[in-house]
A and B are shown apart, each in its own frame.
Chain A
Amino acid sequence: MSAAMPVGETLVSARGLTRRFPAPKTRLIEPRAFTTALEDADIDVREGSAVGVIGESGSGKSTLVRLLLGLDTPTAGTVEFQGRRVEASAPARSLHWLRRETGIVFQDPYASLDPRMSVGRIVAEPLWALGIGGDRRARVREVLGDVGLDAEMADRFPHEFSGGQRQRIALARAIAHRPRLLVGDEPLSALDVTVRAQILELLGALRRRDGLTLLLVSHDIGVVQSLCDEVVVMKDGHIVEEGPTEKVLLEPQVAYTRRLLASIPVIEPGAS
């Protein structure tokens, strides 16, 4: 399904990206210890491509995307978006240029939508926050349609929606300001399989239509296989393997990738 898209120049580029967190203290007096969530990672995401980041919990996938989006400050290393340096430690307002170019969908649609806000306000919020003018209400109606929801739903509240519909709302919010890069951090993991298949198809369709660049963090390799044309495999804060999806998943070069892939259960009638 990973349809060939015209792939352009580098959109996001990171070099030597490292993030350490202070480890919790176990004694009153002890030398400061650190855990390294990400170490010396290089990554390039080209415009129009769909890149999947796979790995198990604690491998550093989420840390990597947080750093790429300027949501966290690296301990070392640099991030550039279209050649412009991302300074996450600078005041929030100075990253507005990056926010306009990026959107993110998180895993849990029950936690990521403010229950007190109507769907219309939720979806319009990035437009307000980023100072994007024009007919905002029209844009909200349009983008709700893009994700397969009715424009009338703008007046309703998140609790009135199912998990799959909420994830569509979260997706509408992420693309309302027409970003070029859409990041999903396990956007399908909390959903039932029927809903998961629908959202997967929707992501693919939006990508084809708008030429969105996609960066998808997932522990679900099937999703990455369906949607992404490049894969990055992470383990213990390191990128251990990367390349075209078919190559990495079908001819993995690294022992860890092989072990990871061999662990995934497949539907095998008569296996048990």
Chain B
Amino acid sequence: MSLVVQDLTVDIAGRRVVDGVSFEVPDGARVGLIGESGSGKSLTALAVLGLLPDGAEASGSVRWNGRELIGLADRELATLRGDEIGIVFQEPRTALNPIRTVGRQIAESIRIHEGVSKKDAAARAIAEAARVALPDPERIVARYPHQLSGGQRQRVAIAMALACRPRLLIADEPTTALDVTIQAEILELMLSLVKNDGMSLVFITHDLAVLSQIATHGVVLEDGRVVEDAPVSQLLTTPSSPVTAGLLRDATATLWRPGGAE
């Protein structure tokens, strides 16, 4: 169960925004895509998922388990998403439907992919809510997104993404909109779920500290190109690209130093 991206390009209105990106996610690996805004990290992920906005065109190759995803029919991609590849976005408020209870939304993602009865799906939704450590799962499934906190909403989004036990989770800045104490909880939750299930992870972030906590491998992007691809411990100690070195230097300048200022 591996993802192999080769020479991926994305053009929007004649502008090349992703330019020949290649990287691999072997089975069970946790890969971080890192870069500043506009570096092409989100578009790379959307291209893998077949979720590019209208007017954007992808070419190159994205192989999931040997199967080519570029050019695959929307129907087949839709089955793949959720079933084999789960997605979590930055802002749970926009990812969730405001007029449906969270239980129904989790149940729906199960029903679409597994064809179980409404009743069974509803029962499963409670179990899934418990799995992402939502408090009082039996009662929380009856609530609406606006009745939950930001961290709880992100847990719901994770429950939906993982309900069908995908083999790959793609998370696009899933903790950026959250407070730090909540961020720490969500990162811990994602890491434990991914490790327990032996899932692969593609984690998109602009934050090197978050990267170091969650990924084993890092792909650094700038202006739509991969500038470095290496194990995270190497990226953070002996970066080979000046881009990575710059990111590291600037992040260190504004980063919290538990040991105090030098």
Query: In the bound complex, do residue B181 and residue A188 qualify as a contact, i.e. CB atoms below 8 Å apart?
Result: no
Query: In the bound complex, do residue B180 and residue A263 qualify as a contact, i.e. CB atoms below 8 Å apart?
Result: yes
Query: In the bound complex, do residue B251 and residue A267 qualify as a contact, i.e. CB atoms below 8 Å apart?
Result: yes
Q: A263-B180, A270-B233 are in contact. Are A196 and B254 (CB under 8 A)?
A: yes
Of residues 172 through 209 on chain B, the ones whose CB sits less than 8 Å from some CB of chain A are 179-184, 187, 191, 206-209
Q: A194-B247, A226-B261 are in contact. Are A263 and B206 (CB under 8 A)?
A: no
> Which B residues are in CB contact (< 8 Å) with A263?
180-181, 183-184
Q: A57-B179, A265-B212, A269-B237 are in contact. Are A222 and B256 (CB under 8 A)?
A: yes
Interface majority SS (helix, strand, loop, mixed), chain B = helix
Bound together, the chains give a CA A53 to CA B234 distance in angstroms of 35
Bound together, the chains give a CA A260 to CA B181 distance in angstroms of 6
> Which B residues are in CB contact (< 8 Å) with A200?
253-254
> Which A residues are in CB contact (< 8 Å) with B252?
267
Q: Is B65 an interface position by the 8 A CB rule?
A: no
> Which B residues are in CB contact (< 8 Å) with A192?
36-37, 206
CB within 8 A of A265: which of B187, B232, B248, B249?
Answer: B187
The distance from the CB of B182 to the nearest CB of chain A, in whole angstroms, is: 8
Q: Is B158 an interface position by the 8 A CB rule?
A: no
The distance from the CB of A23 to the nearest CB of chain B, in whole angstroms, is: 15
CB within 8 A of A266: which of B209, B214, B247, B249?
Answer: B209
Of residues 195 through 239 on chain A, the ones whose CB sits less than 8 Å from some CB of chain B are 196-197, 200-201, 219-223, 225-226
The distance from the CB of A201 to the nearest CB of chain B, in whole angstroms, is: 8
Q: Is A32 an interface position by the 8 A CB rule?
A: no
Instruction: Convert B203-238 into 0s and 1s, putting 1 for each residue whose CB lies closer than 8 angstroms to a CB of A.
Output: 000111110111110000000000000001111110
Query: In the bound complex, do residue A272 and residue B212 qualify as a contact, i.e. CB atoms below 8 Å apart?
Result: yes
> Which A residues are in CB contact (< 8 Å) with B183?
263, 265
Query: In the bound complex, do residue B250 and residue A197 qualify as a contact, i.e. CB atoms below 8 Å apart?
Result: yes
The distance from the CB of A47 to the nearest CB of chain B, in whole angstroms, is: 23
Number of B residues contacting the other chain (C-beta, 8 Å)? 43
Bound together, the chains give a CA A191 to CA B171 distance in angstroms of 21
Q: A267-B252, A267-B255, A269-B233 are in contact. Are A193 and B214 (CB under 8 A)?
A: no
> Which A residues are in CB contact (< 8 Å) with B187?
265
> Which B residues are in CB contact (< 8 Å) with A2?
261
Max chain B Cβ within 10 angstroms of own Cβ: one of A163, A194, A261, A268:
A194
Of residues 249 through 263 on chain A, the ones whose CB sits less than 8 Å from some CB of chain B are 249-250, 259-263
Query: In the bound complex, do residue B181 and residue A56 qualify as a contact, i.e. CB atoms below 8 Å apart?
Result: yes
Considering the complex, give the chain A residue whose CB is closest to the CB of B30: A272
> Which A residues are in CB contact (< 8 Å) with B207?
265
> Which B residues are in CB contact (< 8 Å) with A264?
180, 184, 209, 256
Residue pairs across A and B with CB atoms within 8 Å: the count is 116
Query: In the bound complex, do residue A225 and residue B213 qualify as a contact, i.e. CB atoms below 8 Å apart?
Result: no
The distance from the CB of B216 to the nearest CB of chain A, in whole angstroms, is: 6
Considering the complex, give the chain B residue whose CB is closest to the CB of A56: B179
Query: In the bound complex, do residue B256 and residue A266 qualify as a contact, i.e. CB atoms below 8 Å apart?
Result: yes
Of residues 116 through 157 on chain B, the ones whose CB sits less than 8 Å from some CB of chain A are 150
The distance from the CB of B253 to the nearest CB of chain A, in whole angstroms, is: 4
Q: Is A246 an interface position by the 8 A CB rule?
A: yes
Considering the complex, give the chain A residue whose CB is closest to the CB of B203: A272
The distance from the CB of A230 to the nearest CB of chain B, in whole angstroms, is: 15
Bound together, the chains give a CA A219 to CA B181 distance in angstroms of 11
Query: Which residues of A does B touch, CB under 8 Å?
Result: 1-2, 56-57, 163, 188, 192-194, 196-197, 200-201, 219-223, 225-226, 246, 249-250, 259-272
Q: Which 10 A-B pairs have the closest CB atoms?
A: A265-B209, A56-B179, A263-B184, A222-B256, A269-B236, A197-B250, A269-B233, A192-B36, A263-B181, A197-B253
Query: Which residues of B does A touch, CB under 8 Å?
Result: 30, 36-37, 150, 179-184, 187, 191, 206-210, 212-216, 232-237, 246-258, 260-261
> What are 29 residue pairs bridging A and B, where the CB atoms are less than 8 Å apart in the complex?
A1-B261, A56-B179, A56-B181, A57-B179, A193-B36, A193-B250, A194-B246, A197-B254, A200-B253, A200-B254, A221-B256, A225-B256, A226-B253, A250-B258, A261-B258, A262-B184, A264-B209, A265-B184, A265-B207, A266-B209, A266-B255, A267-B212, A267-B248, A267-B252, A269-B212, A269-B237, A271-B213, A272-B213, A272-B215
